[in-house]
Chain A
Amino acid sequence: MGAIALQGVKKSFGGVAVIPGVDLEIENGEFVVFVGPSGCGKSTLLRLIAGLEDASGGMIRINGKDATALPPARRGLAMVFQSYALYPHMSVYRNIAFPLKMAGVDKAEIDRKVRGAAATLNLTDYLDRRPGQLSGGQRQRVAIGRAIVREPAAFLFDEPLSNLDAALRVSMRLEISELHQKLGATMVYVTHDQVEAMTMADKIVVLNRGAIEQVGSPLELYRSPANLFVAAFIGSPKMNLIEGAAAAAHGANTIGVRPEHLTLSREAGDWKGVVTIAEHLGSDTFLHVEGEGVGAVTARVSGEFGAGPGDTVHMTPEAGRVYRFGADGKAMA
């Protein structure tokens, strides 16, 4: 059980409205990712849900009950912090046991639960160690262990992978997704990395300047971004946004074409351009092209494409994959 509903939730710090008013429904068992550039208020929103910040207005409901004024401990949520926030002077065992001890659970029960969580997270061999003797990934798992023993209504993750190296980040991403499958619990996850958002989420909430730009499944956001901000934020490499005559030809103020939706040819195409940089990844080739009348454009070609700087190429956007945006930045039907 872990449904969270935000109704007109506001937060301001000394007159500055960081979150001017957010409405959001998080259903039981969902994996929701808050994503946005740094300073967009996504961490503040998570801390509001956790109860670490008091809302300046609006209502937070957890499982249908008003939790706006409840202290963090009584909301039944568990949080994994960016710095992991492990207790450095306690062993791994005592770290994981801490929330149970605070709840007054009896010793045998604590022992059973801690060992269960440790087994789930492959931490059994490290129970006697201190956090300082663990690697980044192990610390991350201890932080998750401390969260799961409480059997919370929902898990809150605040950029949990940002302190890990790239390889570990990928494997931890998988572990968290597997954990979500196994526990079936609601998870709210904050990140600035759209790849994490796309790979893990059931539902992505794109935030910008404290306001929700769009809510939807990863593919919904990919296929039909509601506005320029979401279009530019979701997808890697970034969507090409083209203004001017090329856009007017499609009857829009701005058009967007994803790099993977450009067909390249040496002979003929809609837009002619000169390759400035070619990145050969083997599986893909990214071409940065200075197009005539369309400006700098990135194109992604599957497999190898033998073009180097200075070569002339012709690009054609795939039919039906051109996004049109009006003067207000919103998507046009």
Chain B
Amino acid sequence: MATTHTRAAARLTLAPSVILLLAWMAIPLAMTLYFSTLRYNLLMPGMESYVGVENYGWFLTDPAFKAAIVNTLTLVLGVLAITLIGGTALALLLDQPMWGQGIVRLLVIAPFFVMPTVSALVWKNMLMHPVNGLFAWIAQSLGMEPVDWFAELPLFSIIVIVAWGWLPFATLIILTALQSLDSEQREAAEMDGAGPVSVFAYITLPHLARALTVVVLIETIFLLSVFAEILVTTNGGPGTATTNLAFLIYAQALLQYDIGGASAGGVIAVILANIVAVFLIRMVGKNLES
């Protein structure tokens, strides 16, 4: 009948995109899984041999792996903390009526449009450079020793650079949530004797809970795979001080030419990301329900 026809037609027209998506995801995953079981070094072409799970053993026992996990988590949590707190503060400020509100808001959003490599290079050469950088100049003008950011505080510097890029995103989401807060609620709380701090704690913050979880979810997905900022600034160093999981896999594949080990790392990264995703979805699901 008509519905079966429609259904068949729907399946037929949907098929190309579904097949494309599946191929896009399944083929690389299958190839990664396959490569992860091979001894496959780019310096020795044609010498590939099956080694089972040996690559996984090597990758997991690599001391750099533990450091990379710690760095990845520090990076994600550090950037989340800065963007959530800073984003809420900025959104509260931008929500105040002021002259030139439109332009100010546009300017605040601007960093989000700067690509990560460019922003990282600007930070590296113009702001954090120990000789030519703005921060060094400020420190010197105040009679202090300039900080060599990438040597002394490498991971912190990366966190600052990444957070700078993500702050506008958090601000924007939180600002829109703030604007949807019913002004009568705030007035009712005021009449009930709540001061500005209480209004924020009891009215504004609970209202922002959903927006904040959305920010956490989206940022976490992207922050687990930060790469460009590390590549153009510290190259994962000094030592493994700024090597996260994504950068470690890159180093394994393209600096040590070990495709097998890198593939195993990739599979491990996928598993870890999924574990994080399960936790996040549970948390978000709870928060988005009511």
A: residues with CB less than 8 A from B are 50-52, 71-73, 77-79, 81-83, 85-90, 98-99, 102-103, 130, 132, 146, 150
Cα A69 to Cα B41 in complex, Å, equals 79
Contact B191 A72 (CB under 8 A): yes
> Which residues of chain B have C-beta atoms less than 8 A from A79's C-beta?
187-188, 191
Look across to chain A and name the residue whose beta carbon is closest to the beta carbon of B188: A85
> Which residues of chain A have C-beta atoms less than 8 A from B198's C-beta?
102
> Which residues of chain A have C-beta atoms less than 8 A from B182's C-beta?
83, 85
Contact B185 A72 (CB under 8 A): no
Q: Which of B1-9, B107-115, B200-208 contacts A (4 or more CB under 8 A)?
A: B200-208
Cα A27 to Cα B137 in complex, Å, equals 69
- Closest 8 A-B residue pairs measured CB to CB? A85-B188, A99-B192, A73-B193, A85-B184, A102-B193, A89-B206, A81-B184, A72-B191
Q: A82-B184, A98-B202 are known contacts. Are A73 and B192 too (CB-CB below 8 A)?
A: yes
Give me 8 other A-B pairs in contact (C-beta within 8 A), A52-B191, A87-B188 excluded.
A73-B192, A79-B187, A82-B184, A90-B202, A90-B206, A102-B198, A103-B193, A150-B192
Closest chain-A Cβ to B289's Cβ sits at a distance in Å of 11
Q: List 27 A-B contacts (CB under 8 A).
A: A50-B191, A52-B187, A72-B190, A72-B191, A73-B190, A73-B194, A81-B188, A83-B182, A83-B184, A85-B185, A85-B187, A85-B188, A86-B185, A87-B188, A87-B203, A89-B206, A89-B207, A89-B209, A90-B206, A98-B189, A99-B193, A102-B193, A102-B194, A130-B290, A132-B290, A146-B188, A146-B192
The residue among A52, A78, A90, A103 with the most chain B CB atoms within 10 A of its own CB is A52
Look across to chain B and name the residue whose beta carbon is closest to the beta carbon of A77: B191
Cα A50 to Cα B182 in complex, Å, equals 18
> Which residues of chain B have C-beta atoms less than 8 A from A98's C-beta?
189, 192, 194, 202
> Which residues of chain B have C-beta atoms less than 8 A from A99's C-beta?
192-193
User: B176-188, CB under 8 A of A: which get 1 and which 0?
Assistant: 0000001011011
Closest chain-A Cβ to B135's Cβ sits at a distance in Å of 42
Per DSSP, chain A at the interface is: loop
> Which residues of chain B have C-beta atoms less than 8 A from A77's C-beta?
191
Cα A73 to Cα B198 in complex, Å, equals 13
B: residues with CB less than 8 A from A are 182, 184-185, 187-194, 198, 202-203, 206-207, 209, 290
Cα A150 to Cα B189 in complex, Å, equals 13
The residue among A71, A83, A85, A150 with the most chain B CB atoms within 10 A of its own CB is A85
* Partner pick for A87 among B193, B202, B290, CB 8 A cutoff: B202
Closest chain-A Cβ to B101's Cβ sits at a distance in Å of 17
* Partner pick for B185 among A51, A82, A87, A102, CB 8 A cutoff: A87
Cα A203 to Cα B187 in complex, Å, equals 27
Look across to chain A and name the residue whose beta carbon is closest to the beta carbon of B203: A87
Cα A79 to Cα B192 in complex, Å, equals 9
> Which residues of chain B have C-beta atoms less than 8 A from A103's C-beta?
193
> Which residues of chain A have C-beta atoms less than 8 A from B207's C-beta?
88-89
Look across to chain B and name the residue whose beta carbon is closest to the beta carbon of A47: B187
Cα A113 to Cα B15 in complex, Å, equals 64
Contact A81 B192 (CB under 8 A): no
Closest chain-A Cβ to B61's Cβ sits at a distance in Å of 47
Closest chain-A Cβ to B41's Cβ sits at a distance in Å of 57
> Which residues of chain B have C-beta atoms less than 8 A from A89's C-beta?
206-207, 209, 290
Look across to chain A and name the residue whose beta carbon is closest to the beta carbon of B184: A85
> Which residues of chain A have C-beta atoms less than 8 A from B189's C-beta?
87, 98
Closest chain-B Cβ to A148's Cβ sits at a distance in Å of 13
Cα A141 to Cα B203 in complex, Å, equals 20
Cα A323 to Cα B182 in complex, Å, equals 46
> Which residues of chain A have C-beta atoms less than 8 A from B190's C-beta?
52, 71-73
> Which residues of chain A have C-beta atoms less than 8 A from B191's C-beta?
50-52, 72-73, 77-79
Closest chain-A Cβ to B96's Cβ sits at a distance in Å of 17
Cα A50 to Cα B184 in complex, Å, equals 13
Closest chain-B Cβ to A232's Cβ sits at a distance in Å of 31
Cα A130 to Cα B185 in complex, Å, equals 15
